[in-house]
Amino acid sequence: MKYLRFLIIIGYGAVATLPLLWVVLSSMKHRADTISLHAKVVPAPTAPADPASITFEATAEAWRDLAAVHAGAQASFWHYLANSIIIGVLSTIASLALGTACAYGFSRFRIPGSGDWLFFILSTRFLPPLAVVVPVLMMYRELDLQGTHAGLILLYTIFNLSLSVWLMKGFLDEIPRAFEEAALVDGYTRWQAFLRVVLPEARTGMAVTAVFCIISAWNEYGFAMTLNSSGAITVPAYFAGLQGNIDGMPWPQIAAGALVFVAPIIIFTICTRKNLLRGMTFGTIKQ
Amino acid sequence: MSFIQIRALEKTWPDGTAAVRRFDLDIAAGEFTVLLGPSGCGKTTTLRMIAGLETPTSGKILLNGADVTHLPPSRRDVGFVFQFYALYPHMSVAENIAFPLACTGVARAERIAAVAEIAERLCISNLLNRRPRELPGGDQQRVALARAMIRKPAVWLMDEPLGTLDAELRAQLCEFIRARQIEARVATIYVTHDQDEAMRLADRVIVMNAGEILQIGAPSEMYLRPSSIFTARFVGSPGMNLIEGEVISNGGARAFAPRGGNIKLIIPNMNFAGPAWLGVRPEGVRCGMGATASGDLAGRIAVDAFAGSARFYHIDCAFGRVVARHDPGGRGAAGESVYLTFDPASICIFNAADGRRVS
Amino acid sequence: MKDPVLRISNLQKSYGGRRVLDGVQFDVSAGEFTVVLGPTGAGKTTLLRTIAGLETPDAGNIIMNGADALSLPPAARDVALVFQNFSLYPGKTVRANLEFPLRAPERGLGESDIKDRVAKAASMLHIERLLDRPARQLSGGEMQRVAIGRAIVRRPSLFLMDEPLTNLDAKLREELRVELRELARGLGAPVLWVTHDPSEALSMADRIIVLIAGRILQIGAPENVYFAPASPEVARQLGSPPINLISAVASGDLWRCADGTPICNIKHPAPASALLGIRPEHIAPTGGESPATVEVVENMGPTRVVVARFGSVVLHLLTSRDFSARPGDIIFPRVDGGKIIVWSA
């Protein structure tokens, strides 16, 4: 039984990490090796004599070339990564702040029609966001938001808001009202009680919500692509834009860039994984 | 052969803490047994092992001669009442109560009659068509009791079923449980931290602390002849007064000299000598108002606690705090001087070294 | 005459059409220990929360130390509230929990003052050794001590306690009752203590306020409420075992049950039919005329409760532990006619 469990975990681990491993290998290759007909899986210090060999010459070329400006692009990978970071982080902060404040209101105050309001907020998620891409595009053109950081930050914030309101409401509902009431009686104002008592207790929930928000903003592709011709292009749009350039796809550079791109998310998720696990089971068991 | 036999039952949690140790118990058919102890003493774990909700680390549980140690709960023929109501929210009160009968193949008409009868006795006849979540906690617990006690399984197991209820309702349900148990003669194991409930319900009380049985006996025995300091203090409300001191030779006899006091109490028929605790129940302490007569124990009332049918004076003496039970008409107020005498018949002496009673 | 610390008049509060507080009115004087006793759902907690400023009443007045308190936010009312369910911030240490109320910006206390107050409260409650532990590692009893410590450090002009002992073990409850009663005497500020536990009310209170379904049914000293309850509802709230309530008719110089069984002599001028309240300790198990069948005998330590069927009614008797009876035995209960309570029916 124990071994079987072990085998299943090993098997699943292998399947799950294989694509990532392939990306790691590709980032160490020359471009020719990435599109070779023969699978190249073993890095070696020198190029093999036999072209059909499974070994390839490992090189740091792709990593150095991350700073290069490829044909069809206006700046290097790092420039677009900076865009992704600015847009991802700011939109996450914004949707977390707004979502927490809104959820706190729904959780603690008697708001007329609060059920309907919450349903309305959820309903903004019913359509896939891309379904409204055309009207958004037209509005953004009118408002001069097209191709700006602010435009994408605003968009991602709004799309993440319903998720963050609902998640945060769930977490805040679990924090006993008495926590703040004790602080109120003890001489704190509601705002001070919120900052000093509720927020520290809501850390777990905020970490969980932040992970979901940043993942969806970070990986978003459709809007980043269509609302941009230049200006605020994020990494996913940048990679896609490399398609069909005259030099052919720079696969090793894309692989290296993809690794740099997913690294922060993986690290962030690992750092908050304790909170995430707690967050997932939060509220499922009630004494 | 007794009806339930528990042999060398042990439970150790994965982190190594022992929840229950060396638990041996025999329960006769139809007996009402109460496991009494403070939170964390292992009483609920023991009950859950008997129900099959928890697997023992070692030891055996025999029910009516058959080894049930490794049987699932459903095959043990036990009825369980949880501390928190655990009713099925999607069923009406009547359906909830009838549920244990539904799977035993009792005819429908009989089921309805049985539900009506038990509902009548618990004063919930008018609630039968409601859903559990519409009811206040007290009514939910009545329904839970009705559901557990409608069937007569081999054993009833109850985990602090009255713990969260108002006093009035608790007294009422206490009486219902006792009356129903007496008429059904179903062996019952009842877990509580409330010594008052234990004393009122039990044929036999099992006092537990830190995973072990400290004493087994009838309520009156537990009260009058506690085997250890722990039982003396835990049983009784308030518990037994305990005074630290020493048993010394006093001429031919033995006497108890409390620490911090310069008095001696003659203790007849005593072999023990050495550091000891003197125990006396509050009703064994008589207190007279006013100045101290010579040789008596002087004190001052610190707290005067009225209890309806009695009054308890908490009195500070040279050797500590003593509680005296007085009739409710007493007029002693906090701060007043009193003198005490101990009823020799109600005095217990405990060995200070191991806490066991020596007389 | 000094103003009372708290004066409440005609307090009204409804939730969704249900009256929770209905004309509640009382005073609390300096140094007084007042217990509000009532069953679950009587409005006790709402009353405390209204006084603390966490709820707004529909009507009525709350005057504290001579000034209107209704318009003040909770922070400005100078009351300390101990909750039933919440006691401490689990993530903070005991010390941080105790300091929390003192660090409120408006309070403007200096660091040495805060230290001093925390140390004093900790020694009063014997929790010095717990100060640096995280609150979540404490046992239930320890938590409740610290929770009360959080109130004490404030030195408020009124303590509000919402069933602080209810979630504890019976034994611990009994010990803390005495300890806290003594402690309260040293605090100076009055305590308004809410509970559903009659023995807590009887043993702790200077004065009991009986609150049922949002209305005050009686206010009085424990002995007064116990021996002279204003109504059968009040009588039922107090006493273990519960008071016997029997409908009776006067015939000649005897009270009789509806079925004719004689109960006891009529000692005072009486109406023709009445509800009698008879405390179980006022019925002797022997010496009466009519027989009763013992159904249950419960052991209470120094006493026994005997439940017996007496004609068409069930009687509870409180006897000494020397009286022995078994279910099925016949006894002849004798009711002390001078001690019964008579409400005209």
Domains and CATH numbers, chain A: 2-59 (no CATH), 67-281 (1.10.3720.10)
Distance CA A189, CA B60 (A): 59
Minimal-distance CA residue of chain A relative to C54: A181
Note the pLDDT of residue A279: 62
Note the pLDDT of residue A284: 41
Task: For residue B27, name the pLDDT band (cuts at 50, 70, 90).
Answer: very high
Q: Where are the extended beta strands (E) located within B99-192?
A: 155-159, 187-192
Distance from CA of C330 to the nearest CA of B (A): 17
> Total structural domains in chain C?
2
* pLDDT at residue B105 tops 90: no
Residues C205 and C265 in one domain: no
Label residue B89 exposed, middle or buried (CB < 10 Å: 0-12, 13-18, 19+).
exposed
Residues C190 and C324 in one domain: no
Partner-chain residue, chosen from C81, C89, C104, that has the shortest CB–CB distance to A188: C104
Residue finishing a domain among C205, C237, C269:
C237
Residues 6+ apart with CB under 8 A from C72: C53
Note the pLDDT of residue A285: 38
Residues B124 and B270 in one domain: no
Note the pLDDT of residue A287: 32
Mean pLDDT of C163-177: 88
Give the count of alpha carbons within 13 A of A143, CB side only.
15
Q: Sort out which chain B residues have CB atoms less than 8 A from C178's CB and list them.
A: 238, 303, 305, 314
Yes or no, beta carbons of C83 and A201 under 8 Å apart: no
Domain extent at residue C69:
6-237
Distance CA B299, CA B241 (A): 14
List, as ranges, residues 224-243 from B with C-beta within 8 Å of C: 234-239
- The answer to whether B196 contacts chain C (CB < 8 Å) is yes
Task: For residue B136, name the pLDDT band (cuts at 50, 70, 90).
Answer: confident
Chain A residues within 8 angstroms (CB to CB) of chain C: 176, 178-179, 181-189, 192, 197, 200-201
Q: Sort out which chain C residues have CB atoms less than 8 A from B174's CB and list them.
A: 298
Residues C155 and C265 in one domain: no
Radius of gyration (C-alpha) of chain A in whole angstroms: 24
Residues B199 and B227 in one domain: yes
Minimal-distance CA residue of chain C relative to B306: C203
What Cα–Cα distance (Å) separates residue B149 from each residue in B98, B146, C200?
Answer: 11, 5, 31
Q: Sort out which chain C residues have CB atoms less than 8 A from A188's CB and list them.
A: 75, 104-105
Mean pLDDT of C173-190: 89
**Residue B139 belongs to some domain of the structure:** yes
Yes or no, beta carbons of B303 and C178 under 8 Å apart: yes
**Residue C176 belongs to some domain of the structure:** yes
Note the pLDDT of residue A102: 95
Distance from CA of C241 to the nearest CA of B (A): 7
Of the candidates A152, A176, A170, A163, the residue with the CA atom closest to the CA atom of residue A86: A152
Q: Sort out which chain C residues have CB atoms less than 8 A from A108's CB and list them.
A: none
Residues B28 and B79 in one domain: yes
- The answer to whether B171 contacts chain C (CB < 8 Å) is yes
Note the pLDDT of residue C318: 94
Domain extent at residue B224:
4-233
pLDDT tens track for A206-260: 988 999 899 999 999 888 888 877 778 889 888 888 877 777 788 888 899 999 9
**Residue B359 belongs to some domain of the structure:** no
Residues B201 and B325 in one domain: no
Q: Sort out which chain A residues have CB atoms less than 8 A from C73's CB and list them.
A: 184, 189
Residue finishing a domain among C209, C237, C265:
C237
Note the pLDDT of residue A260: 93
Note the pLDDT of residue A281: 57
Note the pLDDT of residue B301: 92
Looking at per-residue confidence, does C84 or B32 come out higher? B32
Looking at per-residue confidence, does A229 or B67 come out higher? B67
Residues C233 and C309 in one domain: no
Domain with B285 in it: what CATH number? 2.40.50.140
Domain with C305 in it: what CATH number? 2.40.50.140
Yes or no, beta carbons of A186 and C77 under 8 Å apart: no
Minimal-distance CA residue of chain C relative to B231: C171
Residue B32's φ and ψ, nearest 5 degrees, are -105, 110
Residues 6+ apart with CB under 8 A from B158: B80, B81, B148, B177, B188, B189, B190, B191
**Residue C1 belongs to some domain of the structure:** no
Partner-chain residue, chosen from C52, C75, C86, that has the shortest CB–CB distance to A176: C86
Distance CA C145, CA C128 (A): 11
Of the candidates B135, B121, B122, the residue with the CA atom closest to the CA atom of residue B92: B135
Yes or no, beta carbons of C181 and B303 under 8 Å apart: yes
What Cα–Cα distance (Å) separates residue C125 from each residue in C85, C190, C262?
Answer: 20, 18, 54
Note the pLDDT of residue C337: 87
What Cα–Cα distance (Å) separates residue C10 from each residue in C29, C59, C194, C340?
Answer: 18, 7, 19, 33
Q: Which DSSP state fits C93?
A: B
Residues C137 and C189 in one domain: yes
Residue finishing a domain among B218, B233, B248:
B233
Distance from CA of C151 to the nearest CA of A (A): 8
Looking at per-residue confidence, does A69 or C292 come out higher? C292
Residue finishing a domain among B189, B207, B233:
B233
Residues B160 and B99 in one domain: yes
Residue finishing a domain among B233, B251, B266:
B233
Partner-chain residue, chosen from C80, C86, C91, that has the shortest CB–CB distance to A178: C86
- The answer to whether B327 contacts chain C (CB < 8 Å) is no
Domain with B114 in it: what CATH number? 3.40.50.300
Note the pLDDT of residue A283: 45
Residues B25 and B160 in one domain: yes
Partner-chain residue, chosen from B136, B239, B309, that has the shortest CB–CB distance to C279: B309
**Residue B280 belongs to some domain of the structure:** yes
Yes or no, beta carbons of C303 and B237 under 8 Å apart: no
* pLDDT at residue B295 tops 80: no
pLDDT tens track for C106-142: 888 889 999 999 999 999 888 999 999 998 888 888 8
Give the count of alpha carbons within 13 A of C69, CB side only.
28
Looking at per-residue confidence, does C321 or B297 come out higher? C321
Residues B267 and B217 in one domain: no
pLDDT tens track for B2-20: 899 999 999 999 888 899 9
Residues C74 and C204 in one domain: yes
**Residue C144 belongs to some domain of the structure:** yes
Q: Sort out which chain C residues have CB atoms less than 8 A from A183's CB and list them.
A: 100, 104
Mean pLDDT of B120-136: 90
Domain with C213 in it: what CATH number? 3.40.50.300
Yes or no, beta carbons of C178 and B305 under 8 Å apart: yes
**Residue B340 belongs to some domain of the structure:** yes
Residues C159 and C193 in one domain: yes
Rounded to the nearest integer, the mean pLDDT of chain B is 89
Residues B266 and B122 in one domain: no
Q: Sort out which chain C residues have CB atoms less than 8 A from A186's CB and list them.
A: 75, 80, 100-101, 104, 150, 154
Distance CA B18, CA A97 (A): 47
Positions in chain A whose pLDDT score sits under 50:
283-287
Mean pLDDT of C2-21: 91
**Residue B357 belongs to some domain of the structure:** no
- The answer to whether C54 contacts chain A (CB < 8 Å) is yes
Mean pLDDT of C75-102: 88
- The answer to whether C52 contacts chain A (CB < 8 Å) is yes
Residue finishing a domain among C197, C214, C237:
C237
Q: Sort out which chain C residues have CB atoms less than 8 A from B308's CB and list them.
A: 198-199, 202, 226, 238-240, 279, 281
Look up the pTM and report it: 0.84
Distance from CA of B223 to the nearest CA of C (A): 6
pLDDT tens track for B182-225: 889 999 999 999 998 999 899 999 999 999 999 999 998 999 99
Partner-chain residue, chosen from C75, C79, C150, that has the shortest CB–CB distance to A189: C75
pLDDT tens track for C136-164: 888 888 888 899 999 999 999 999 999 99
Q: Sort out which chain B residues have CB atoms less than 8 A from C301's CB and list them.
A: 199, 223, 235-237, 281
Residues B56 and B185 in one domain: yes
> Total structural domains in chain B?
2
* pLDDT at residue C258 tops 60: yes
Query: What element of type H or E holds A34?
Result: helix A31-34
Residues C228 and C303 in one domain: no
Residues B142 and B26 in one domain: yes
Residues C202 and C316 in one domain: no
Distance CA C84, CA A140 (A): 54
Residues B213 and B261 in one domain: no
**At which residue do the structure tokens 């109501």 appear?**
B85
Partner-chain residue, chosen from B136, B236, B302, that has the shortest CB–CB distance to C301: B236
- The answer to whether B325 contacts chain C (CB < 8 Å) is yes
- Of all residues in chain C, the percent with pLDDT exceeding 70 is 99
Minimal-distance CA residue of chain A relative to C76: A187
Note the pLDDT of residue A280: 60
> Can you read off the two tokens belonging to residue B313?
């004076």
Residues C194 and C46 in one domain: yes
Minimal-distance CA residue of chain B relative to C281: B309
* pLDDT at residue B26 tops 90: yes
Residues B272 and B340 in one domain: yes
Distance from CA of B298 to the nearest CA of C (A): 20
- The answer to whether B179 contacts chain C (CB < 8 Å) is yes
**Residue B177 belongs to some domain of the structure:** yes
- The answer to whether C81 contacts chain A (CB < 8 Å) is yes
Residues C326 and C188 in one domain: no
Q: Sort out which chain A residues have CB atoms less than 8 A from C107's CB and list them.
A: 187
**Residue B161 belongs to some domain of the structure:** yes
* pLDDT at residue C237 tops 80: yes
- The answer to whether C91 contacts chain A (CB < 8 Å) is yes
Mean pLDDT of C51-68: 93
Distance CA C26, CA C72 (A): 20
Residues C210 and C314 in one domain: no
Sheet (strand C292-299) strand order: C313-320, C303-310, C292-299, C330-331
**Residue C180 belongs to some domain of the structure:** yes
* pLDDT at residue B291 tops 70: no
